[in-house]
Copies of this chain bind each other. A is one copy, B any other.
Amino acid sequence: MGAGLVGSLLSLYLAQRGHEVSVFERRADLRKQGLVEGRSINLALSDRGWRALEGVGVGEEIRRVAIPMYRRVMHDQHGNLSYQPYGQDNQAIYSVSRAILNRTLLDLAEQDPRIQLRFNQQCLGVDLRARTLDLRDAQTGTRQTQSFRRLFGTDGAFSAVRAAMQRTDRFDYSQSYLEYGYKELNIEPGPDGAWLLEKNALHIWPRGQYLMIALPNLDGSFNCTLFFPYEGEHSFAALQTPAQVQAFFEAVFPDVVPLMPELQAEFFQNPTGSLVTVRCFPWAFDDDVLLLGDASHAIVPFYGQGMNAGFEDCSVLNELLEEHGADWPAIFGEFQRQRKPDADAMAELALYNFEEMRDRVADPRFLLQKKIESKISAQYPGQWLSLYSQVTFSHIPYAQAWQNGQRQEQIMRRLMPHIQAEADYDRPEVQQQLKAEIVQNHS
């Protein structure tokens, strides 16, 4: 159930192992809609996502339409810029259009004779014991009962499959919203499709209690997102007129206002989205039903890991299919046992990074610490990988990355009082303390 990013990718993995797959999707086939390609929501694809795409042979095709972002560019209130590289050398996260990605996966699925795609199929209910879906065709209005042998719930944060599981005994569930909403806005392309901000970067306007980000599109535009409180002095509630919006943006995001000619219209036409974290357990109902992706672990977008985590679910499941063959109870059981702590850790990390992006990245001390960490990484390769790199450029399980990151943060708290500038890193007492910490960290 669900032919979004995770559902369409999963169907390819299942078909690759010889299974017959029917994919039911509530919405219409997005390939038949006239979207402006360059303007859909874009997502940051990183190593976990790439690996999962490469597992079905679609990595190269996506790489051609992905824009590498090598660093964060922070814009302060006066338009001054500061920089933070994401990783070493050529490491980057990639801005990819959600629509292009989904279409590519659906095209692949359609070519596979073992996969049937069925659109406009709203799931009204699931009878877990009878193993049937109650489906309503949105075009004809007809209802049908669809039986299944094994159901994969990849129907997103508001999953209908999960809703059925929520009513079973001992199903732990929570949905928790931030007091922040988001608004999508656009930066127009320059003449001849030129990018009016640095193209190969993720742009951040950190403002303490709120922030805006921008990711590049192929057509020279940028997709911006304002993350903003619902209530309070600076909030959606406080911006009620076009004039108020214009004045606010000119005051706090002055360098971007000239690049947003449609600002006022977009601000009021585009919906305000909410930001939810969903946690639940179990993810499996017997060996009949399994939740993956946002259906079992929707997270806030501040680490750029929502899609990557969902794609990694597919990689992990694929490994278990390899390992356990047709032993579905083992596959489902091991999947949720192994993957739940990682999903929980990633949810925490995403919430943690919200603070980092809206507040800490504007702090020179924070940026200095990141530079020092980068030096440590270079000096102690294999013994120090920044938390960000572990999450973004490695396949270390999220829970372990989070644990490592917390331990490293403790070390930095002891080290940083001795460092006032980048050059202090080379002072003998700093080097000595660092060495002792590294030894201890690995003992």
Cα(A177)–Cα(B171), bound, Å = 7
18 residue pairs A–B, Cβ–Cβ below 8 Å: A158-B167, A166-B175, A169-B177, A169-B274, A170-B177, A170-B230, A170-B274, A171-B175, A171-B177, A172-B175, A172-B176, A172-B177, A173-B173, A173-B174, A173-B175, A174-B174, A174-B175, A174-B176
Interface size class of A (residues with CB under 8 A): 10 to 19
A162-189, CB under 8 A of B: which get 1 and which 0?
A: 0000110111111111000000000000
Give A163 Cβ to nearest chain B Cβ, in Å: 9
Where the two chains meet, the residues of A that have a C-beta atom closer than 8 Å to any C-beta of B are: 158, 166-167, 169-177, 230, 274
Residues in chain B near residue A274, CB distance under 8 A: 169-170
Cα(A176)–Cα(B171), bound, Å = 7
The residue on B at minimum CB distance from A166 is B175
Residues in chain B near residue A167, CB distance under 8 A: 158
Give A166 Cβ to nearest chain B Cβ, in Å: 7
The 6 closest A-B pairs by CB, nearest first: A174-B174, A170-B177, A173-B175, A170-B274, A169-B274, A172-B176
Cα(A158)–Cα(B170), bound, Å = 12
Residues in chain B near residue A176, CB distance under 8 A: 172, 174
* A-B contacts besides A169-B177, A171-B175, A172-B176, 14 pairs, CB < 8 Å: A158-B167, A166-B175, A169-B274, A170-B177, A170-B230, A170-B274, A171-B177, A172-B175, A173-B173, A173-B174, A173-B175, A174-B174, A174-B175, A174-B176
Cα(A176)–Cα(B174), bound, Å = 8
The residue on B at minimum CB distance from A277 is B172
Cα(A175)–Cα(B169), bound, Å = 11
Residues in chain B near residue A230, CB distance under 8 A: 170
Give A178 Cβ to nearest chain B Cβ, in Å: 9
Residues in chain B near residue A174, CB distance under 8 A: 173-176
Residues in chain B near residue A172, CB distance under 8 A: 175-177
Give A123 Cβ to nearest chain B Cβ, in Å: 14
Cα(A401)–Cα(B167), bound, Å = 34
Residues in chain B near residue A173, CB distance under 8 A: 173-175
Residues in chain B near residue A169, CB distance under 8 A: 177, 274
Cα(A176)–Cα(B176), bound, Å = 13
Residues in chain B near residue A177, CB distance under 8 A: 169-172
Cα(A171)–Cα(B274), bound, Å = 10
The residue on B at minimum CB distance from A170 is B177
Cα(A416)–Cα(B121), bound, Å = 66
Cα(A300)–Cα(B176), bound, Å = 21
The residue on B at minimum CB distance from A173 is B175
Give A77 Cβ to nearest chain B Cβ, in Å: 29
Cα(A72)–Cα(B177), bound, Å = 42
Cα(A371)–Cα(B170), bound, Å = 38
The residue on B at minimum CB distance from A273 is B169
Cα(A167)–Cα(B173), bound, Å = 14
Give A237 Cβ to nearest chain B Cβ, in Å: 13
Cα(A230)–Cα(B274), bound, Å = 37
Cα(A167)–Cα(B163), bound, Å = 10
Q: Which of A158, A167, A172 has the most CB of B within 10 A?
A: A172
Give A320 Cβ to nearest chain B Cβ, in Å: 23
The residue on B at minimum CB distance from A179 is B170
Give A181 Cβ to nearest chain B Cβ, in Å: 8
